[in-house]
Amino acid sequence: MKPVLAVKDLSVTFRTEDGPLSAVDRVSFEVGDGEVLAVVGESGCGKSVTAMSIAGLLPRTATVNGSVELDGTELIGADKRTLRSIRGREVAYIFQEPMTSLNPVFTVGHQIIEVLRTHIGLNRQAAHARAVELLKLVGIPSAERRVGDYPHQLSGGMRQRVMIAMAVACDPKVLIADEPTTALDVTIQAGILDVLRGLRERLGTSIVLITHDLGVVADLADRVAVMYAGRVVETAEVHDLFAHPEHPYTVGLLGASPAAGRHAESQRLNEIPGLVPVLSEQPDACTFADRCTRAVDTCTSSQPQLTDGPHRVACWNPVRDRVEV
């Protein structure tokens, strides 16, 4: 099956006062129709930059190379008009902080209606009815009344629901959700994850879910891409990744969060000493080498490439001591 979104060898470098900063290095992944791909990794690993480059939301200081194809249309280097027709319509975004992307002086209904009028050309009445429908879709109670609320009258969870309603207003092929629940309580998060699950099931929306919360990944993802220092270091189907992580960084991440029912007396958490490096250029080496307990000589002299197949890993000495049951 042809993927809806195909990212190939995507690289992003920023010009900064301290010289160039390489944020993303030859990242490749694909997202199938109705598939949820989770992108995980620590802060600064390049998750948001990858997401923003998908529809040209990066600042002018960024140089982008490589290819991003949405349903066969190349987005990197595309003209403004193509991008404008795609952004918000074919690809939509939701961010961690809904308040920063909602306009405080307009009602939420007004904002959804604007999206519908500009992108789909609905008339005011039809757009209003559709806005109410969308608010219902994302689980906002008394949607007919809430459509007239201003953003500050809503709780954080409801604002995020409104953001999702706006994002899916034009029935996008791909929804990019960058840490959509990080700012929310678990009780509220559960509701938002449920809405995302519903979108995928009812509308068949493909979702790129960026998160650092492995519980959220376990809940929603079909496949996972693990990023480290601007590179994808491992991708696999979700059950396979949790059961058989192969990259030492993935193994480290999985061991770092406490397991259910475990107290400090019986389990020590896995620490990954050191920090994610900030790179001005990408070395021909594994960038995890100075933190890796499995490093071998090759690791510092040659960059490991992603293997082929359903479970791909970029490592010279991957963890393969599987215990089959």
Partner 1 sequence: MVDNALEVEDLVMHFGPVRAVDGVTLRIRQGTVVALVGESGSGKSTVGRCIVRLLEPTGGTVRLAGADITHLSRRRLRPHRRDVSIVFQDPAGSLDPRLSVGDIVGEPLRLMRRKDISTKVSESLQRVGLRPEVAQRAPHELSGGQRQRVSIARALISEPRLLVADEPTSALDVSVQAAVLNLLADLQRDLGFACLFITHDLSAVEYLADEVAVMYLGQLVEQGPRARIFGHPAHPYTQALLSAAPVPDPAEQRARRPVLLGDDLPSAIDPPPGCRFHTRCPVAVDTCRTVVPERRTIGEGGHQVACHLVKDDGTGPDVRPTEGVAQ
Interface with ligand ADP (CB under 6 A): 14, 16, 21, 23, 41, 43-49, 59, 61, 278
* 11 binds Mg ion, rule: CB under 5 A: no
Q: Does position 48 bind Mg ion by CB under 5 A? A: yes
The torsion angle over the Cα atoms of residues 142, 147, 151 and 152, rounded to 10 degrees, is -50
Query: Of ligand ADP, Mg ion, partner 1, none, which one does residue 141 interact with (CB within 5 to 8 Å by kind)?
Result: partner 1
Q: Whole-angstrom Cα distance, residue 127 to residue 112?
A: 8
Q: Tell how strand 19-31 and strand 5-16 pair up.
A: antiparallel
SS3 26: strand
Can you tell me which residue has the tokens 């890796």? 292
Q: Which of 49, 166, 229, 295 binds ligand SF4 (CB under 6 A)?
A: 295
Cβ atoms of residues 289 and 299 within 8 Å: yes
CB of 121 to partner 1, least distance (A): 32
Closest CA to 24 of 233, 240, 239, 173: 233
Candidate segments 29-37, 120-128, 163-171, 269-277, binder of partner 1 by CB under 8 A: 269-277
Compute how many other C-beta atoms are within 10 angstroms of the C-beta atom of residue 131.
27
**Encoded tokens for 57:** 């939301």
Report the residue number, 36 or 295, with the smaller CB distance to ligand SF4: 295
Pick the binder of partner 1 from 103, 155, 280, 301 (CB under 8 A).
155
Query: Which parts of the chain fold into alpha helices (H)?
Result: 47-53, 80-86, 98-101, 108-120, 124-137, 143-146, 156-167, 186-203, 214-220, 238-243, 248-256
Of 37, 39, 167, 286, which one interacts with ligand SF4 (CB under 6 A)?
286
Q: Which does 191 bind (CB under 5 to 8 A by kind): ligand SF4, partner 1, ligand ADP, none?
A: partner 1
With binding defined as CB under 5 A, does residue 50 bind Mg ion?
Answer: no
Half-sphere exposure at residue 30, Cβ-oriented, CA atoms within 13 angstroms: 12
Find the radius of gyration of the CA atoms of the chain.
Answer: 21
Residue choice 158, 288, 306, 312 for contact with ligand SF4 (CB under 6 A):
288
Report the DSSP pairing between strands 206-210 and 5-16. unpaired
168 near ligand SF4, judged by CB under 6 A: no
Nearer to Mg ion, 43 or 125 (CB): 43
Residue with Cβ nearer ligand SF4 (56 or 304): 304
Residue 48's binding partner among ligand SF4, partner 1, Mg ion, none (Cβ under 5 to 8 angstroms by kind) is: Mg ion
How many helices (H) does the chain have, and how many strands (E)? 11, 11
Give 210 or 306: the residue with its C-beta nearer to Mg ion. 210
Min dist CB 161 to ligand SF4, Å, is: 25
**Contacting positions for partner 1 (CB under 8 A):** 42-43, 141, 155-158, 161, 185-191, 193-194, 212-219, 221, 238-239, 242, 252-264, 267-273, 275
**Contacting positions for Mg ion (CB under 5 A):** 48
**Contacting positions for ligand SF4 (CB under 6 A):** 247-248, 286, 288-289, 292, 294-296, 299, 304, 315-317
